[in-house]
Structure 1
Amino acid sequence: MAIRRILTIDNTADLAILKQVSKPVAVVDDAVRALMDDMLDTMYDAPGIGLAAVQIGELQRVVVMDLGDGPAPEAAEAAAEDEEGSEETRVPNPRFFVNPEVIWASDETFCYEEGCLSIPEYFDQVERPARVRVAYLDRTGARIEGEIEGLYAVCFQHELDHLNGVLFIDHLSRLRRDRAMSKVKKTMRLREDA
């Protein structure tokens, strides 16, 4: 397991990779599971709640997520009543998705302020379907299908977009996209100067 570099939109070469469509995975084997482990370590280190393989330069249809919504141990149940939870009260719940797809989306929408590890320190409102029916292969290669909603649905759709070469800022107006690019470039310059 290793922490990998996350590609960011301020780097022209990184952006060219992020805009590519990822290839389907033929079989969930040890190499794919090792990739998922690296992705999970990278996501936790960033820190984030979702990461697509393309964000670390791997053009495979693989996503990891952890919304910190795992089953709460008895001692943490009272603290877990808080919907958002804090870093200390969130219970890890890593999820693994290979070849994920949305097979149905509700007409009802949900607006959420999204961020992205490839677009550091920029957040904006994105409207997406509130509920989606999804299908994917899990860490063992078993096919899973189910309906999801809320933050889980937002994150799933956000990461699926990555696999299709779409960034969350692509859902914004041109003015807001340009503002995001400028802000990220400035943020990354300040990080380099520090």
Structure 2
Amino acid sequence: MAIRPILRYPHPGLKTICEPVTVFDWALRRLADDLLETMRVARGVGITAAHVGVFLRVVVIELNKVDGVRTFINPDIISVSDELMRQTEGSVSMPGVTDEVTRPRAVRFRYQDINGVQHEEHADGFLAICIQHEVDQLDGIFWLQRLSKLKRDRLIRKWEKAAP
């Protein structure tokens, strides 16, 4: 496993729509392992391949040690609940900057595992929020775009002042 450099906001790669994974091989496994190690060092709970400049639809999430590591290849949200939930969000590409985002509380989604096997699942609460956040990133939508213009501009100013 290797720690990969993380693209920092406002890197244009963070607006890139990622391509589907078509080859399930050792290189994909290595990418997933590297994403996990990189995410842990960055103290995140989720990361996409796009965060490290690899524009493939790969997500790694580790909410806690009990639930363990989840790797989602080519995730796609099928449906969302009408009930909404507010959750503090941030990004490994913009460390130290967070704000509350409102998203659907539950999702139904499909994905492939690291071996290419298709799955369909329901998620609610924090996991549902994380799935939506990371799928947005795969679609080139950075989490700030889910905020009002006023909040977004305030956070960007804060980020620009704090950036080295």
When the two structures are superposed, what TM-score results if normalisation uses the length of structure 1? Answer: 0.81
Q: Which residue of 1 aligns with 2:3?
A: 3
Give the secondary-structure state (helix, strand or coil) at the position aligned to 1:27. coil
Aligned residue in 2 for 1:48: 44
Say if 2:10 is the partner of 1:35: no
From the superposition, tell whether residues 132 and 69 of structure 1 become closer, same or farther in structure 2 (CA, over 3 Å). Answer: farther
Is residue 120–residue 187 contact of structure 1 (8 Å, CA) maintained in 2?
no
Q: For 2:56, which of 33, 55, 60 is the aligned residue? A: 60
Q: For the residues of structure 1 that align with 2:34 and 2:72, how far apart are their CA atoms? A: 14
| Structure with larger Rg | 1
Shift, 1:36, TM fit: 0.5
Deviations 1:36-75, CA, capped at 9 Å, x for gaps: 011000000111100010000000000001001526xxxx
Partner of 1:81: none
1:133-163 deviations in Å (ceiling 9; x for gaps): 0100112211111100011001110000000
Structure 1 match to 2:99? 124
Equivalent position of 2:122 in the other structure: 147
TM-score (norm 2): 0.96
Q: Percent identity, aligned pairs only?
A: 42
Q: Aligned to 1:179, which of 150, 154, 159?
A: 154
Structure 2 unaligned blocks of 5 or more = none
The whole-number CA distance in structure 1 between the counterparts of 2:163 and 2:30 is 29
- 1:64-98 CA distances to partner (integer Å, 9 max, x unpaired)? 01001526xxxxxxxxxxxxxxxxxxxxx011010
Distance 1:46 1:186 in 2: 20
Give the whole-Å Cα distance in 2 for the aligned partners of 1:114 and 1:103.
Answer: 22
Q: In structure 2, how many angstroms separate the alpha carbons of the residues matched to 1:121 and 1:147?
A: 30
Cα RMSD, aligned residues only: 1.1
